[in-house]
Amino acid sequence: MRAKVLVVIALLLGLHLALLLAGFVAPYDPTAQNRELSYCPPTRLHFEDGSGFHLRPFVYASAVVMEGDQAGSYQEDRNHEYSLRWLVTGPSYKLFGIYESTVHLFEVDEPGRIFLIGTDAYGRDEFSRVLFGGQLSVSAGIVATLITLLAGSIVGIIAGYYGGWVDELLMGVNELFLSLPWLYFLLGVRAFLPLHLSTLRTFFLLTGVIGLIGWARPARLLRGVVLSSRNRNYVLAARGFGATDSYLLRRHILPELFGLLLTQAALLVPRYIAAEATLSFFGLGVNEPAASWGNMLSALQQYSVLVSYGWLLAPAGALVVTSVLYSSLAEVFHSRLKSHTT
Amino acid sequence: MKLIHLALHVCLLAGACFAAAPAPEAAKPGEELARMAGVTGRFGGGLTIGQRSEPKTLNPVTATDAISREVIGRLMGDLIEINRASQLTEPALAKSWKISADGRTFTLQLRKGIRFSDGHPFDADDVVFSFNVYMDEAVDSPQRDLLIIDGKPILVSKLDQYTVRFVLPRPYAAAERIFDGLGMLPKHLLEKPYREGHFAQAWSLNVPPTEIAGLGPFRLKQYVPGQRVVLERNPYYWKVDRENQRLPYLDELVFLFVGTEDAQIMRFEAGETDMVSHLSSENYNLLAREKSRIGSQLADMGPGLEYNFLLFNLNDLGGKKLDEVATKQAWFRDLKFRQAINAAVDRQSIVRLVYGSRGAALWGNVGPGNRLWVNQALPHPTQSVETARQLLKSAGYSWNSAGQLQDPTGRLVAFSIITSSSNSQRMKMATLLQDDLSHLGMQVHVVPLEFRAMIDRVFQSFDYDAAIMGLGGGDADPNPEMNVWTFNGTSHLWHMGETQPATEWERELDQLMQQQMVTLDYAKRKQLYDRAQQLIAENLPFIFLGTPNILAGATARVGNFHPAVLDPYTLWNADELYVRGSALENAGVR
């Protein structure tokens, strides 16, 4: 059990460190286009050539096949080898948005290119984009989840615990939000805002819109749980002994909700990361050329892209890994909490 | 009994079971049929076409959407048709026509003895009735605009049972092309609803097949809501093939509603449908890779008539509170600024990355697909950032130490391009353009918007800087372009609702467009339109980007598959399509 906890935490730390240090880990500028290398498949690392085995891996350049059955696909040009180098200077970037640096973890000799997970329609390095996109998507997903759950639990607990007209009023508002035609709301929001939004403003907009739309469902769920636990015998007993509202909430009700909130969070984070792809359809998402997992995934809405260029599923893979890690973390928290309370 | 049951079951599974279709009627003496000398084929069988959604109506007068028209076009016959292969007009229900010297009077001679798909004879009364309906303001047909010239309707009169005269308010170039797409209506079926004032409700999808008739190659057999429309052979159709056998070859034509464009592709890959038109280059390349597995015929017809362009907001903003846009208009109004952008656009990349090399770069509004009208003399300069920088410099623009472009007053040049988020090709163009223009030090933001929201900004609120849009795709003639290039046209996108031409060149363009419309001689008309194209290319109200090729596919069993660059790309010769012999036998159909 303990080993599992350590592994999960190590992996999560690793993931977030990689995203945080995206500029250093990524070999290229995520917006730099290589128009000659559109939809280039992942570059293969080689250790062996005609002259034998090399300790330092190298890559070959990719070139488009012009004629024949394979026209349009890529082949390796075996005439030149480009060695992989560690800690080299490359395009400049800003670490944490502050420190300017040009040092990259790895790169290959110029004019060679290394695309660990291929390129997109414009020949941009998918690996660099996944890292830079992750910065924005993961943080937006987490912040939006926090907003949703915070708003949802405040409303849900108040409604469930106090009941009566408070409950009716809050749940009435709740139902109103659940039944609003969000399509028109989003169109309205878009019309109201200026056309261009900086990435920072987009971030607040995204989290704000998702929080606004998202709070209603968890609020209903929490209200139900609070309502049922309020009438449990031990709660009634505690109340009979003169326990105050705040004591009851703190000691008996909130611990009941904790597990629920954690599982909700583990479910909501990946969902909100993907929701950004939907919002970008209304012009509310992260705009080109900036990367986010959501707008990278929207390229896959086309069937032909989905079946032809499998490596573009990378942001989905990253999303799956992230959400598995988060839900494992939630599970760990949950079980530790249980062992404490019982 | 068991065997029949099994056979029925197999039929249902295969979806290839065609109930007995009516046999073609034998020719009657005196019936003036049109002989298609070059056409041969095999009778029997049916084809299935995947459609993105259900047609909204089967009424040819009120239908506005392309999907309804695709079905209706197979049910209806026109007086004069545009041959999709040659792009020229040819006789249809009218076997010949005469144009008076002043170009205003058209006298059409109808085919004698031909019948509607319910067997009722067709004559001049039906023609007069049809035009009265199309031009009736109360019916509100989308085709009405074509028939009202200078606010006056075309006068239609019957001279005898098989002769009709049309008098135009003024000479109108290529007026015979108007007749294509105006399906002739059966007076005996539609006069009653028309007189009673509920014509618009007539011929909805639920119409009983006995109450709908036309002069097209097929007639309605069955409509299954949410699933399909089934058409069967019109046994009285007026065209015969080389062997004098009455067309069409097919017993049935089935339109299957599949949902999305991607679903169309998947159904086609699975062999559930026989044809796809409107293929994007990505889907075409996808099918090309699987060609040997599916055994399909794919056709790349070369560039079509659509043109995609970058458009700057040059609208009059008086009265609208759009100060931000108004200050940017100083740049957009500067011809050198537009020329610089025109020079910086990498059109070859657009063709390669957006159209997968199945498209063409454009420098004007008429592309290479419009063989009769393209101005071949227009220059096609290659991309040059250097030229663009020179142009900007000569217009007083400069660059700061960070390489950002400043206008003569020192403001940084930054603007946004809006485009429809559902059109992935135009989104890609915007992203490429953004990168191209960053090399000039311009900060361009791409803003994808939901389609209606984008249209609202371009047509109504004018709250945008620049937009990427597409136009064209109608007929290969200058007349459908009138509403774009005349100053008061409804699609005069860069400057909507002008009361008079804003500049000298727009005044000349307007005159040229008006003149070409009343010039009957092709060579003279071409000269006028060439000059118009030149003015457009020199003054750049739009920065033209590219045009996609017309791409279509069909399964190996489809015979006479000859797609065209004019709409409808694949079904224009539905009367000549047939199911190839071996495929018929394999499928076990008769």
Q: What is the mean pLDDT of chain B?
A: 89
Q: Are residues A158 and A272 in the same domain?
A: yes
How far is A119 from chain B, CA to nearest CA, in Å?
A: 13
CATH number of B21-274+557-587: 3.40.190.10
- Looking at residue B369, the DSSP 8-state letter turns out to be T
Tell me whether A187 touches chain B (CB under 8 Å).
Answer: yes
Task: Specify whether the CB–CB gap between B432 and B346 falls below 8 A.
Answer: yes
Task: Specify whether the CB–CB gap between A136 and A199 falls below 8 A.
Answer: yes
Are B450 and A288 in contact (CB < 8 Å)?
no
- Nearest Cα neighbor of A327 from A270, A272, A266 is A266
Task: Specify whether the CB–CB gap between A292 and A276 falls below 8 A.
Answer: yes
Taking only the tens place, the pLDDT of each residue in B319-369 is: 778 888 999 999 999 999 999 999 999 999 999 999 988 999 999 999 998
Q: Is the pLDDT higher at B16 or at A191? A: A191
Closest residue of chain B to A309, computed from CA coordinates: B286
- Nearest Cα neighbor of B275 from B577, B589, B584, B587 is B577
pTM confidence score:
0.83
How many residues are present in chain B? 590
Q: In which element (H, E) is residue B533 found?
A: helix B522-539
The Cα–Cα gap between B215 and B236 comes to: 8
Q: Is the pLDDT higher at B292 or at B521? A: B521
Residue B82 backbone phi and psi in degrees, to 5: -95, 120
Confidence of residue B15 (pLDDT cuts 50, 70, 90): very low
Taking only the tens place, the pLDDT of each residue in B146-164 is: 788 878 899 999 999 999 9
Least CB–CB distance from B353: residue in A121, A187, A288? A121
Number of helices followed by number of strands (H, E) in chain A: 13, 4
Are A281 and B421 in contact (CB < 8 Å)?
yes
Chain region(s) in chain B for CATH 3.40.190.10 = 21-274+557-587
Are A280 and B448 in contact (CB < 8 Å)?
yes
Tell me whether B423 touches chain A (CB under 8 Å).
Answer: no
How far is B421 from chain A, CA to nearest CA, in Å?
A: 6
Are A283 and B356 in contact (CB < 8 Å)?
no
How far is A65 from chain B, CA to nearest CA, in Å?
A: 14
Are B453 and A33 in contact (CB < 8 Å)?
no
How far is B448 from chain A, CA to nearest CA, in Å?
A: 5
Q: Are residues A246 and A289 in the same domain?
A: yes
Task: Name chain A contacts of B434, Cβ cutoff 8 Å.
Answer: 288-289
Task: Name chain B contacts of A281, Cβ cutoff 8 Å.
Answer: 421-422, 448, 450
Tell me whether A288 touches chain B (CB under 8 Å).
Answer: yes
Structure tokens of B63? 């239908």
Mutation pick from B52, B260, B279, B282 vs chain A, by most beta carbons of A within 10 Å, is B282
The upper half-sphere exposure of residue B435, i.e. CA atoms within 13 Å in the direction of its Cβ, equals 21
Structure tokens of B269? 């890959």
Tell me whether B465 touches chain A (CB under 8 Å).
Answer: yes
Taking only the tens place, the pLDDT of each residue in B501-523 is: 989 999 999 999 989 988 888 99
Q: In which element (H, E) is residue B467 found?
A: strand B466-471
Chain region(s) in chain B for CATH 3.10.105.10 = 307-548
pLDDT of residue A300: 84
Q: Is B85 helix (H, G, I), strand (E, B) or coil?
A: coil
Q: Are residues A136 and A279 in the same domain?
A: yes
Least CB–CB distance from A307: residue in B286, B357, B446? B286
Q: Is the pLDDT higher at B482 or at B222? A: B222
Task: Name chain B contacts of A121, Cβ cutoff 8 Å.
Answer: 353, 428
Least CB–CB distance from B448: residue in A31, A38, A283? A283
- Domain assignment present for residue A87? The answer is yes
Compute CA distances B161 → B32, B112, B113, whole Å.
14, 9, 11
Tell me whether B435 touches chain A (CB under 8 Å).
Answer: yes
Final residue before a domain boundary, out of A88, A114, A140: A114
pLDDT of residue B374: 93
Task: Specify whether the CB–CB gap between B253 and B46 falls below 8 A.
Answer: yes
Confidence of residue B11 (pLDDT cuts 50, 70, 90): very low
Residue B189 backbone phi and psi in degrees, to 5: -100, -30
Task: Name chain B contacts of A187, Cβ cutoff 8 Å.
Answer: 450, 452-453
Q: In which element (H, E) is residue B48 found?
A: strand B46-51
Closest residue of chain B to A308, computed from CA coordinates: B286
Confidence of residue B17 (pLDDT cuts 50, 70, 90): very low
Tell me whether B447 touches chain A (CB under 8 Å).
Answer: yes
Task: Specify whether the CB–CB gap between B126 and B158 falls below 8 A.
Answer: no
Q: Are residues A250 and A171 in the same domain?
A: yes
Taking only the tens place, the pLDDT of each residue in B195-220 is: 998 898 899 999 999 999 999 999 99
Are A195 and B352 in contact (CB < 8 Å)?
no
- Nearest Cα neighbor of B300 from B284, B286, B276 is B284
Task: Name chain B contacts of A308, Cβ cutoff 8 Å.
Answer: 282, 285-286, 289
Neighbours of B44 (CB within 10 A): 18
Q: Given a cut of 60, is residue B10 above it in pLDDT? A: no
Taking only the tens place, the pLDDT of each residue in B399-423 is: 999 999 999 999 999 999 999 988 8
Closest residue of chain A to B349, computed from CA coordinates: A35
- Please, which residues bridge with residue B446 across strands? B417
pLDDT of residue B16: 44
Domain tally, chain A: 2
Q: Given a cut of 50, is residue B189 above it in pLDDT? A: yes
How many residues are present in chain A? 342
Are A303 and B262 in contact (CB < 8 Å)?
yes
Task: Name chain A contacts of B324, Cβ cutoff 8 Å.
Answer: 194
pLDDT > 70 in chain B, percent: 95
- Domain assignment present for residue A31? The answer is no
Least CB–CB distance from A187: residue in B416, B453, B465? B453
- Evaluated on CA atoms A275, A278, A283, A286, the torsion sign reads positive
Q: Are residues A314 and A235 in the same domain?
A: yes
Closest residue of chain B to A286, computed from CA coordinates: B447
Tell me whether A305 touches chain B (CB under 8 Å).
Answer: yes
Task: Name chain A contacts of B446, Cβ cutoff 8 Å.
Answer: 287-289
Confidence of residue B260 (pLDDT cuts 50, 70, 90): confident
- Domain assignment present for residue A195? The answer is yes
Q: Is the pLDDT higher at B466 or at A71? A: B466
Q: Are residues A135 and A106 in the same domain?
A: no
- Domain assignment present for residue A10? The answer is no
pLDDT of residue B323: 86
pLDDT of residue B390: 95
Tell me whether B262 touches chain A (CB under 8 Å).
Answer: yes
Are A122 and B447 in contact (CB < 8 Å)?
no
Tell me whether B349 touches chain A (CB under 8 Å).
Answer: yes
Q: How many CB pairs under 8 A join A and B?
A: 90
Q: Give residue for tokens 């570059």.
A: A43
- Looking at domain B307-548, which CATH architecture does it have? Roll (3.10)
Are B424 and A281 in contact (CB < 8 Å)?
no
Confidence of residue B135 (pLDDT cuts 50, 70, 90): very high
Are B453 and A121 in contact (CB < 8 Å)?
no
Structural domain for A107, as ranges? 43-114
Are A289 and B465 in contact (CB < 8 Å)?
no
Q: Are residues A143 and A215 in the same domain?
A: yes
Task: Name chain B contacts of A305, Cβ cutoff 8 Å.
Answer: 282
Least CB–CB distance from A122: residue in B353, B418, B453? B353
pLDDT > 90 in chain B, percent: 62
Structure tokens of A141? 């997903």
Task: Name chain A contacts of B346, Cβ cutoff 8 Å.
Answer: 35
Tell me whether B17 touches chain A (CB under 8 Å).
Answer: no
Confidence of residue B392 (pLDDT cuts 50, 70, 90): very high
Tell me whether A24 touches chain B (CB under 8 Å).
Answer: no
Tell me whether A38 touches chain B (CB under 8 Å).
Answer: yes
Closest residue of chain A to B419, computed from CA coordinates: A283
Q: Are residues A266 and A186 in the same domain?
A: yes
Final residue before a domain boundary, out of A71, A86, A114: A114
Mean pLDDT of B1-20: 45
- Nearest Cα neighbor of A110 from A48, A28, A51, A54 is A28
The ipTM value here is 0.81
Counting as low any pLDDT under 70, the low residues of chain A are 1, 66-71, 337-342
Structure tokens of B262? 């991607």
Task: Specify whether the CB–CB gap between A123 and A40 falls below 8 A.
Answer: yes
Tell me whether B582 touches chain A (CB under 8 Å).
Answer: no
Closest residue of chain B to A302, computed from CA coordinates: B262
> What is the full DSSP assignment across B323-362?
HHHHHHHHHHT-HHHHHHHHHH--HHHIIIIISTT-EEE-
Taking only the tens place, the pLDDT of each residue in A10-19 is: 998 999 999 9
Least CB–CB distance from A191: residue in B424, B428, B453? B453
Q: Are residues A151 and A267 in the same domain?
A: yes
CA A192 centroid distance within chain:
27
pLDDT of residue B309: 96
* Strand segments (E) across B70-161: 80-82, 89-91, 94-99, 105-110, 148-149, 152-153, 155-160
Final residue before a domain boundary, out of A84, A114, A144: A114
